[in-house]
Amino acid sequence: MSNPTFTHLDVLESESIHIMREVAAECKNPALLFSGGKDSIVMLRLAEKAFRPCKFPFPLVHIDTEHNFPEVIKARDKLAADLGERLIVRSLEGSIAKGTIIIKDPDLPRNPYQSVTLLETIAEFGFDACMGGARRDEEKARAKERIFSFRDEFGQWDPKNQRPELWDIYNTRVHNDENMRVFPISNWTEMDIWEYIDRENLYIPSIYYAHEREVIRRGDNVIPVSHLVQPRPGEKIEMVSVRFRTVGDMTCTAPVESTASNALEIIAETAITRITERGATRMDDQTSEASMELRKKEGYF
């Protein structure tokens, strides 16, 4: 028998399934971080591939900034319900009410505070491993991240002192109060995600596809108008055909101008784009060269 040829998506998919099964088998109390964004929707399909016909051996967990796009929250709830899996939602508002997050302005971006609620949720449920849909191609600090990323009791990432990761033999061991962040789709690129969404015909929130939206232009960014973002004096509201490449905090996630109405058209646009995914869309990553690295050191995933 000759060996069949497998495509890059086959190989990446099998690698991710293998990682998820290692987490299920070796970690005592894992969770899968699920936001309703495209990468976490891919993670959900991979979990189905890894564990069906069994139930997932972990709950889905969302750390809600309450700055999310309503379409994304709708997708989150629909997908969790369709799968019949348990969804735990913990909100930044909960931490604000407790006084563990103090914010100056409720309308400013909330990504920096997500780590606080995430660490509180890890402590509340005693999770020893949280799987997330981060990818190494997203950001330069993430390019140095392990698949099994060790975090101390403060949730800190120490980039200079990471465990070496050889072959695909993963060291999952932690002491009490320490935990792992696990990134099963580390080796996927933005393009791979879109090709997989197309191949698997995955349901994703409508705002990933081109739609008419009210926006304002601020510097090089196109910013969606919402109850959190209103035009400043002198700024003009325009109606533009846009899509989102990432969906995060509404106050700092910018769409790109596009007419792509399905995954195939997005693949075609992605193939010729000249700007990175986060570079085009995440204003919070543009503040300094090390924004992501600093947040990860504080416990961000």
Partner 1 sequence: MSDTTQLLRFITAGSVDDGKSTLIGRLLYDSKSIFEDQFSAISKTSEKRGMAAVDLSLLTDGLQAEREQGITIDVAYRYFATPKRKFIIGDTPGHEQYTRNMVTAASTANLAVILIDARRGVLTQTRRHTFIASLVGVPHIVVAVNKMDMVDYSQQRFDEIVAEYRQFAAQLNLHEVTFIPLSALVGDMVVERGEAMDWYQGPTLMDKLESVVIDQDVNTRDFRFPVQWVCRPQTGEHHDFRGFMGRIEAGQVAVGDEVTLLPAGRTTRVKDIVTYDGSLKTAAAPQSVALTLTDEIDISRGDMLVKAELMPTVAQQFTAMLCWLSETPMDKNRKYIIKHTSRVVKCLVSSLDYRVDVNTLEHHENPTVNMNDIAHVTLKTQKPLVFDSYTRNRATGSFIVIDEATNNTVAAGMIC
Binding site for partner 1 (CB under 8 A): 1-8, 10-15, 17-18, 21-22, 24-26, 48-55, 136-137, 140-144, 159-160, 162-171, 173-175, 186-187, 189, 191-192, 195, 267, 271, 273-276, 279-280, 289-290, 293-294
Reduce the secondary structure of 180-211 to three states and give it as a string: EEECCCCCCCHHHHHHHHHHHCCCCCHHHCCE
DSSP conformation class of 5: P
Name the residue nearer to partner 1 (CB basis): 15 or 85. 15
**Shortest separation between residue 82's beta carbon and partner 1, angstroms:** 15
> What Cα–Cα distance (Å) separates residue 69 from each residue in 19, 89, 174, 228, 275?
30, 15, 35, 11, 23
**Shortest separation between residue 25's beta carbon and partner 1, angstroms:** 5
DSSP-based three-state secondary structure for 64: strand
Bridge partners, residue 225, by sequence: none
Name the residue nearer to partner 1 (CB basis): 5 or 232. 5
CA gap 186, 191 in Å, rounded = 13
Name the residue nearer to partner 1 (CB basis): 189 or 241. 189
Name the residue nearer to partner 1 (CB basis): 100 or 162. 162
**Shortest separation between residue 89's beta carbon and partner 1, angstroms:** 26
Task: List the Cα angle 25/146/178 in 5-degree steps.
Answer: 60
Name the residue nearer to partner 1 (CB basis): 164 or 234. 164
Nearest in space to 249 (alpha carbons), one of 103, 102, 68: 68
Name the residue nearer to partner 1 (CB basis): 98 or 140. 140
**Shortest separation between residue 292's beta carbon and partner 1, angstroms:** 10
**Shortest separation between residue 192's beta carbon and partner 1, angstroms:** 8
**Shortest separation between residue 226's beta carbon and partner 1, angstroms:** 25
In the sheet that holds 179-182, the strands lie side by side as: 87-91, 60-64, 30-33, 129-131, 179-182, 148-151
